Structure 1
């Protein structure tokens, strides 16, 4: 059996492979350092897989049967060409959950404690007091997408005394949540939510779903946080909501076009915090990604069920 491994970690994985396994290496652009025509397994690394990269690998590996991705979201992978092939896809659900959850808590605290204003005052050498500074106790957090990442967010938020609501496809009760509703039942909760976190996959159903209607239902003191995919938010509607005071502010770790173009109005909104799609970054993510692949490969090699199998029809 032959594998296509990321050039970044192939040598680390090699000692964990059975003696009858061979591999070739692929880089970020999909260039492969050998013959992949008989490759059965593809392990893609911790970067956003460009369509050109994916297509290059698909063309080079006509016998590909299983693809282990390190992304949690796989909307960029499920191209028509990919879906035309019978490839088992497993994703990186769980690999990024802890650093992303920590980022969400940081966004919430930064807004609640008005860190932007405090940094401005420090730069001005101004000892000013009396501006907005809020507690989180008894505030309400709505997490749209109570999957692995959403659950890690709730676990950390619970310690601050927030009321925590969540939505998911299967709305059974979960630890650390006060209320769980179905995937299409979260809009009535917006009027209660001081913080709204988007942690749902990008699918045909979720694309553009945070729109003018949603902003009209939100509290004027609500703060939106998007750590999922930029296309879930209607950006013109968001800019309008920020400019007209429909919501108080937003933190975006992901936007529709990445990198965010210099001319985008998002850069210049005073009540927005933009980070460069980095909330999932952590040195430990590398360790978790390698461990997940080795575990899943062992399962694949022995004919056992794999972890994190993606429902390609659902998109996650």
Structure 2
């Protein structure tokens, strides 16, 4: 069996491959070091973009299974890709722990006024009287109670938060006080303190955090997006933050990345921007490889693969 593997990971993956495996290496530009015409499996990496992917699809007409390390695959499901009958699996679950830790960081930074306190330290200024909040009994709404959402809930629950989740097919989940379905979360917005967006970017979720959602939130609410920039209407968010509809926001992802220097998001005082870094961890690479190797064994044995993407649903 022939595999297409990212150049940066070959040394880590090859010791785990069966002896009858042949490897074709590919760089971030899609350049292959061998013949991929009969390759069945492709493991992409984070820097892969549509032109690179299309280049590999053209070079590998026999491709049957593609594993991507990302949880979100909206950038992969292009019309060209969807023309091919390829099983797509993703990295759902690999990045849940570091992202969840970042979400707790965003919440605590807001509740405890950490940016102001850091600034005071830098100015050597002793000041008291901040409206510092506790998290106990605050309500956290997690839009997207999948793998990442559940990791967030597990870390938020010990702080005493009331946690509500939403998912297409609601069910009882550990650490959630309630899980609602479809658009039921919209009616809950007036009573929440923190909103975390952890849903995939699909046709249904594109810019679904719009003016109506932001106006429905209480003025003290704090919005956190660790999903995809496209789920938020940025013009509506800028207006909400400027006019005080909500207290603030933490964005780990935006519509255009890297965020252009001229974007008004940079200058808003009630926003915390991080450069799409919440999923970073020295353990992510290890987890990604372990997931791929496990799925490779399943693939060879004809067993169901983990994390198969419903390409019609988009996740």
- TM-score higher than 0.5 here? yes
The answer (yes or no) to whether the contact 1:254–1:277 under 8 Å persists in 2 is yes
Distance in 2 (alpha carbons) for counterparts of 1:183 and 1:125: 50
Per-residue deviation, 1:49: 2.7
Deviations 1:146-177 (A, max 9, x none): 00000000000000000000000110110100
Unaligned runs of 5+ residues in structure 2 are none
TM norm structure 1: 0.99
**For 1:207-286, what aligned pairs fall within 5 Å after superposition?**
207-286=206-285
Q: Aligned residue for 2:124?
A: 125
Aligned residues: CA RMSD: 0.7
**For 1:294-313, what aligned pairs fall within 5 Å after superposition?**
294-313=293-312
Distance in 2 (alpha carbons) for counterparts of 1:31 and 1:75: 23
SS of 1:258's partner is coil
SS of 2:305's partner is coil
Q: Aligned residue for 1:115?
A: 114
Unaligned runs of 5+ residues in structure 1 are none
The answer (yes or no) to whether the contact 1:49–1:76 under 8 Å persists in 2 is no
Per-residue deviation, 1:59: 1.2
Distance in 1 (alpha carbons) for counterparts of 2:117 and 2:123: 10
Per-residue deviation, 1:62: 1.0
Distance in 1 (alpha carbons) for counterparts of 2:308 and 2:183: 23
Q: Aligned residue for 2:138?
A: 139
Distance in 1 (alpha carbons) for counterparts of 2:54 and 2:285: 24
Distance in 1 (alpha carbons) for counterparts of 2:23 and 2:31: 14
Distance in 2 (alpha carbons) for counterparts of 1:64 and 1:138: 51
Deviations 1:201-250 (A, max 9, x none): 00000000000000110010000000000000000000000011100000
Distance in 2 (alpha carbons) for counterparts of 1:284 and 1:313: 31
Deviations 1:290-315 (A, max 9, x none): 10010000000111110000000000
Check if 1:59 corresponds to 2:58.
yes
SS of 1:152's partner is helix
Distance in 1 (alpha carbons) for counterparts of 2:47 and 2:183: 28
Distance in 1 (alpha carbons) for counterparts of 2:179 and 2:135: 20
**For 1:1-316, what aligned pairs fall within 5 Å after superposition?**
1-45=1-45, 47-316=46-315
Distance in 2 (alpha carbons) for counterparts of 1:60 and 1:2: 13
Per-residue deviation, 1:31: 1.4
The answer (yes or no) to whether the contact 1:145–1:183 under 8 Å persists in 2 is no
Per-residue deviation, 1:183: 2.5
List 4+ stretches of structure 1 deviating above 6 A: none
SS of 1:186's partner is helix
